[in-house]
Amino acid sequence: MKVGIELGTTSAGEPAKLDLEELLSTRLLVQGNSGSGKSHLLRRLLEQSAPWVQQAIIDPEGDFVSFSERFGHTVVDAERSPGELQRIATRIRQHRASVVLNLEGLDAEEQMRCAAAFLNGLFDADRSVWFPMLIAVDEAQLFAPAVAGEVADDARKASLGAMTNLMCRGRKRGLAGIIATQRLAKLAKNVAAEASNFLMGRTFLDIDMARAADLLGMERRQAEAFRDLDPGQFVALGPALSRRPLGIRIGAVDTAGRSGRPSLMPLPETSRDALEDLIFDASAEVLPMPASSSSRSIATADLMRRIETSKAIDMAPEPEADPRSEAERQELLDGIYAELLSDPEAAFRPVPLLYQDFQFHCRLRKLGGFGQDMSAFRRRLALARAGISAESGDEAWQQVLSVSESLPEEMQGVFLLVARAAREQAVCPSDEALARAYGSHSPSRGRWLLTYMGEQGLIRCEADFRGNRTVSIAGVGWRTLPGSPKGGGKPAAAISKLASAQALMFGGRETGEPDEEPEAIPAE
């Protein structure tokens, strides 16, 4: 079936047609500097061909997600494992679904790995589902670079191999590549050489103009014409477009991307003093509070953890009533927690072992089942290690305690430790202190914990020019003082202060309190 889609108008004012069936066999390369209209051209081509052929769009900036509303494309979030992306790609070919692979928010290396896994899944599909399919790759120089960059070598090789398979061997599998790049010099030659159709937009560098002229069969003296092209103007050549170089102006589109051409706007009318307050006043800055755990979907691992730690149904007869009041039993519990935390090695013992010791002490004091739920124990232990009380009436503290529940239980104590230091405007805890609160001897684990909590939007970690670290707590505007990640000096004193507070909370001695100082050895 012959289908001619209209890209726009020629320089003579006639409709500029593209043979869609021929494009599926011969592939397309689009080149143009930033602002030349490449994304607009891709959008026009994909909009016109959407009713006729299955499409997959590799979108590094999230500009094409609007296709889901207008044309029913499924948006695939790239924050998945490689195996899951490959399985999704296989089902896409089976059901002939048009999709947008949204890579927005990932760094260059992660984008390359995700695109490689997705393209390999499309390429390795069973022969029975080799239906015609357009694969549009915006900013193709990111996925098929001509030279090695700062990304890992294995990620570059995987992405380049997938792009080469798409352009060199994809035709027999029904895959037609449409790649757009800012510069031909940045794009791997093996990928660019397999395209038979070309749309060349505005270009300024001599090397790119010369390569564009060679691809279009133009003389070198004609190459400077690419500098004079307006945004949205392209020179077309290829069996699906024109047998001779033909000037085309791309037509209008029905959808819009998130980014567009910048436009001028007036500056705010704010005095210099007010601007200085806004720029330099850190206390006025409040990070947005992430959604609490109750509003998030429960992951499989979290669900299994809740099942494992849930309280078993006790079918035994109820014991006799305890004559002691709740306050007295609570005081006994406080003593048990203080005794557990007085052990210097308690921070490095697994929570299930601590829970066994806790239950043993509860049986000795005949507390029955009072306060012995595993989830409650983990929560109370995290609060104790942070040196705070769950009964704090402060609304801001209750907000922080609620948000901490979105973290895994073993991380909650670390988050609360940092939050308490920020609340008291103490120096930021060192990596060693954070690792100890997590139950690890490795300081690098402390750095990783801050990175993870920052990715979840719970904190923001910054370092000054001296390497001192400052942490801000989202939603409440609390901020620690700068502290060295390696500890020593003021940070150590601040951690000692927190240890004193947690000991006072349970009525015991300070955790990690040193023994009596040894007698000094007299000098000879």
Give pLDDT tens digits for 136-157.
998 888 898 888 777 888 888 9
- Dihedrals phi, psi of 397, to nearest 5 degrees: -65, -40
Q: Is 220 in the same domain as 74?
A: yes
- How confident is residue 261, by pLDDT bands cut at 50, 70 and 90? low
Between CA 92 and CA 119 the distance in angstroms is 11
Q: Is the pLDDT of residue 305 over 60?
A: no
The answer to whether residue 283 sits within a structural domain is no
Q: Is 197 in the same domain as 78?
A: yes
233-238/242-250 β-pairing = antiparallel
- How confident is residue 334, by pLDDT bands cut at 50, 70 and 90? confident
The answer to whether residue 510 sits within a structural domain is no
- Dihedrals phi, psi of 252, to nearest 5 degrees: -75, 160
- The H or E element that residue 26 is part of is helix 20-26
- How confident is residue 335, by pLDDT bands cut at 50, 70 and 90? confident
- How confident is residue 161, by pLDDT bands cut at 50, 70 and 90? very high
The answer to whether residue 309 sits within a structural domain is no
The answer to whether residue 389 sits within a structural domain is yes
Q: Provide the pLDDT for residue 55.
A: 92
Helix intervals (H) in 217-311: 272-280, 300-309
Q: Is the pLDDT of residue 49 over 50?
A: yes
Between CA 357 and CA 383 the distance in angstroms is 18
Q: Is 78 in the same domain as 172?
A: yes
Q: Provide the pLDDT for residue 389.
A: 58
Q: Provide the pLDDT for residue 349.
A: 67
The answer to whether residue 274 sits within a structural domain is no
Kindly state the DSSP code that residue 298 receives in the 8-state scheme: P
- How confident is residue 386, by pLDDT bands cut at 50, 70 and 90? low
- How confident is residue 520, by pLDDT bands cut at 50, 70 and 90? very low
Q: Is 330 in the same domain as 246?
A: no
Last residue of a domain, one of 214, 233, 250: 250
Q: Is 20 in the same domain as 134?
A: yes
Q: Provide the pLDDT for residue 518.
A: 40
Q: Is 224 in the same domain as 333?
A: no
The answer to whether residue 415 sits within a structural domain is yes
Q: Is the pLDDT of residue 359 over 70?
A: yes
Q: Is 31 in the same domain as 149?
A: yes
CATH code of the domain containing 87: 3.40.50.300
Q: What is the mean predicted confidence (pLDDT) over 418-428?
A: 89
Q: Provide the pLDDT for residue 428.
A: 92
State percent of the chain over pLDDT 70.
78
Q: Is 245 in the same domain as 332?
A: no
Q: What is the pTM of this model?
A: 0.55
Of 241-245, 350-354, 453-457, where does mean pLDDT reach its minimum?
350-354
Round the average pLDDT of the chain to a whole number and report it: 78
Q: Identify whether the C-beta of residue 64 lies closer than 8 Å to the C-beta of residue 57.
A: yes
For the stretch 194-234, pLDDT in tens is: 888 988 888 877 777 777 777 777 776 677 777 778 888 89
For the stretch 306-325, pLDDT in tens is: 434 444 334 344 556 677 78
Q: Is 394 in the same domain as 490?
A: yes
Q: What is the mean predicted confidence (pLDDT) over 261-289?
A: 72
Last residue of a domain, one of 193, 225, 250: 250
Q: Is the pLDDT of residue 290 over 70?
A: no
Q: Provide the pLDDT for residue 163.
A: 92
Q: Is 229 in the same domain as 332?
A: no
Of the two residues 386 and 490, the one the predictor is more confident about is 386
Last residue of a domain, one of 197, 224, 250: 250
Between CA 481 and CA 461 the distance in angstroms is 12
In sign, the C-alpha dihedral spanning 146, 148, 150, 155 is: positive
Q: How many structural domains compose the chain?
A: 2
The answer to whether residue 303 sits within a structural domain is no
Q: What is the mean predicted confidence (pLDDT) over 392-420?
A: 80
Q: Is 243 in the same domain as 357?
A: no
The answer to whether residue 332 sits within a structural domain is yes
* DSSP string for residues in 266-283: PPP---HHHHHHHHH-GG
Q: Is 178 in the same domain as 95?
A: yes
Per the structure, the complete domain to which residue 376 belongs is given by 325-505
Q: Provide the pLDDT for residue 316.
A: 42
Q: Is the pLDDT of residue 380 over 70?
A: yes
Q: Provide the pLDDT for residue 348.
A: 62
